[in-house]
Amino acid sequence: MLGQLLRNNTIHNTHDPVDSDHAFFMNEISSCKDTPPHWTNEITPLRKLFSHDFFDTYTLPPIKVHSIVSVDQLAGKYCYAHSDPHTKPFDQRSTFESRDNGTFVMYRNARFKTDVQIQQGIRWNYSPLRDYPYCVVAIAVRAGGDVYVIDLVNTKTAFVQCKDGVLSRKVRRKSKNEYMIYLPTGTEVQVKNTRHSFLEVDIYPGLQDFGETDGLCGKFDGTSQANDNCGTCTE
């Protein structure tokens, strides 16, 4: 279920009729995969601002809240950088080739301070004298003050920075050659090393990414613009 938080909700009418409906606006604090709605018990303290002391000793019974989250915006959306090399933005079916050497911002959500940077290069066992394409050889995933790195060149797979502890339990090793990294925005980063020389990176956006991203994955806003991706996003 989508973790949510009630904030600054106040019933201003002091003469509300009994059994009347009131709207409470809820702000997302995390997101997840689409799951069927279910009933659960939640404890939400309600503090009165102005009221008659007749209600001082009254305790509300448990209240059932039925929360349904729409994930239509996420249907079929993903971005990848594969070692053909081909890169596919969130909102496009077609791919483009990113053959340059260097470090690139693949995905970034500046609002929530998350990003994925990839380093493209030639593996040590490829001859630099031949015209080989540059593919992903390292990746750095950041959330706040946490940075997790998978680096084939320097054979490093570890946290290089862990200031906030946001990713401390969000890095999962699925198999010998596959990692899943879960960001606070609900974004999922899949990293595979199936070819041993290069990394295959797939990014599945979360609800909080909609309209907030840039980088090679493009601006995730539901439109397929030819210039959606940032082909010169380097760090």
Question: Are residues 137 and 110 part of one domain?
Answer: yes
Question: Are residues 39 and 151 part of one domain?
Answer: no
Segment 1-52, tens digit of pLDDT: 333 444 444 445 455 566 666 666 555 444 333 344 444 555 566 555 555 6
- Across the range 174-199, mean pLDDT stands at 92
Tell me how far apart the alpha carbons of residues 76 and 160 are, in angstroms, rounded to a whole number.
32
CA-derived radius of gyration, the chain: 23
In the chain, the percentage of residues whose pLDDT exceeds 70 is 65
Total domains in the fold of the chain: 2
The answer as to whether 180 is a domain residue is: yes
Q: Spell out the SS3 assignment of the chain.
A: CCCEEECCCCCCCCCCCCCCCCCCCEEECCCCCCCCCCCCCCCCCCCCCCCCHHHCCCCCCCCCCCCCCCCHHHCCCCEEEECCCEEECCCCCCCECCCCCEEEEEEEECCCCEEEEEEEECCCCCCCCCCCCCEEEEEEEEECCEEEEEECCCCEEEEEEECCCCCCCCEEEEECCEEEEECCCCCEEEEECCCCCCCEEEEECCHHHCCCEECCCCCCCCCCCCCCCCCCCEC
Question: Are residues 112 and 24 part of one domain?
Answer: no
* Residue 75 clears pLDDT 60, i.e. is over it: yes
Question: Are residues 24 and 77 part of one domain?
Answer: no
Question: Are residues 140 and 104 part of one domain?
Answer: yes
Q: What is the pLDDT of residue 142?
A: 98
135 or 4, greater pLDDT: 135
Q: What is the pLDDT of residue 2?
A: 36
* Mean per-residue pLDDT over the chain, rounded: 78
Segment 206-235, tens digit of pLDDT: 999 999 999 999 999 988 664 455 544 555
Question: Are residues 208 and 149 part of one domain?
Answer: yes
Q: What is the pLDDT of residue 38?
A: 45
In the chain, the percentage of residues whose pLDDT exceeds 90 is 44
- Across the range 46-67, mean pLDDT stands at 67
**119, 128 Cβ separation under 8 angstroms:** no
The answer as to whether 157 is a domain residue is: yes
Segment 79-130, tens digit of pLDDT: 999 987 789 999 988 888 777 889 999 999 999 999 999 999 876 556 656 6
Q: What is the pLDDT of residue 227?
A: 45
The answer as to whether 104 is a domain residue is: yes
**206, 70 Cβ separation under 8 angstroms:** no
Q: What is the pLDDT of residue 37?
A: 44
Question: Are residues 125 and 179 part of one domain?
Answer: yes
Question: Are residues 189 and 99 part of one domain?
Answer: yes
The answer as to whether 221 is a domain residue is: no
Is the pTM higher than 0.75? The answer reads: no
CATH of the domain at 205: 3.40.1000
Q: What is the pLDDT of residue 58?
A: 73
Question: Are residues 181 and 114 part of one domain?
Answer: yes
- Across the range 164-188, mean pLDDT stands at 94
Question: Are residues 120 and 23 part of one domain?
Answer: no
**Range of 50's domain?**
1-69
The length of the chain in residues reads 235
HSE toward the beta carbon, residue 5, CA cutoff 13 A? 7
The answer as to whether 167 is a domain residue is: yes
Q: What is the pLDDT of residue 101?
A: 86
Question: Are residues 159 and 58 part of one domain?
Answer: no
Tell me how far apart the alpha carbons of residues 161 and 163 are, in angstroms, rounded to a whole number.
6
Q: At which of 69, 102, 118 does a domain end? A: 69
Question: Are residues 197 and 91 part of one domain?
Answer: yes
> In which residue are the tokens 């946001």 written?
166
Amino acid, res. 198:
F
The answer as to whether 224 is a domain residue is: no
